[in-house]
Chains A and B, each alone.
Chain A
Amino acid sequence: EVQLVESGGGLVRPGGSLKLSCAASGFTFSGSAIHWVRQASGKGLEWVGRIRSRLNGYATAYAASMKGRFTISRDDSEDTSYLQMNSLKTEDTAVYYCTKAFCSGRSCHYDYWGQGTLVTVSS
C-alpha cells in the first residue's frame, strides 16, 4: 500500500523557517518525482514545487512565489522528501501536501497524496 506521511508543520513567526518531511512507503521512492502542493484554508490547490528522481538529476522547480525561499530535497536512502521553507510570510499559511507524481511522456499527474500538514505563519 502506497503511503505518504507528512510531518513538521506548526506555528512559526513571519520571517521564520520550517522544514517539512514526507516519509514514503509502498512504492519505489527513488524512481519517483515528488511534488509539494499547498492549500490555504477555504482556498484551492496551489503547486509549490517538485524534485525529480536521481535518474533525472534530482532536478527541482518551484512556483514563482516560492522560488528562492523554498527548497525541496530528498533522501532516497530514507525514502523521504523535505520541504525547507525560509522567510515565511503570513500568506504561506496552508496545509502542505506531498504527492507522488506519475509522469508519462505527455504529462504528470498525482496518483497518491499524503494527508497533509498544517503550517501557520503568524505573530
Chain B
Amino acid sequence: ETGVTQTPRHLVMGMTNKKSLKCEQHLGHNAMYWYKQSAKKPLELMFVYSLEERVENNSVPSRFSPECPNSSHLFLHLHTLQPEDSALYLCASSQDRTGGRGGYTFGSGTRLTVV
C-alpha cells in the first residue's frame, strides 16, 4: 500500500464509451498529478492540481477531463478515446506543488485499453 490508491486497476473501453479513473490519497498532500505511461515513451505529465485548483494542463486533448473535488480525490473522466490512448495512467501526490522534500508518491496505476 503506497498511500495513493487508484481504481480500477484495469479498464477496457470502446471508443464511444465514457468512463472515469479514480485516485485517492490520505497522506495529507495538497498537490495531485496525472501521468500517462505509454510503451517505449517517457512518463508524460498530463495535469497538476494544487489545493483542488488545476494549475497545469500539458496540452492534453479534451477527451481527457480531470476533476479534483477535494484535496484527497482526483478523477480522470474519459470519453471518445482513441486506441493510441491505451496506456498506464498513474496518479501521484506530493506535499505541495513544489514537490516538497518527500517528492511524489505514486499509485499503482490503471491499465487502460481502448478497443
Are A and B bound to each other?
A: no
B-side residues, CB < 8 A to A, are none
A-side residues, CB < 8 A to B, are none
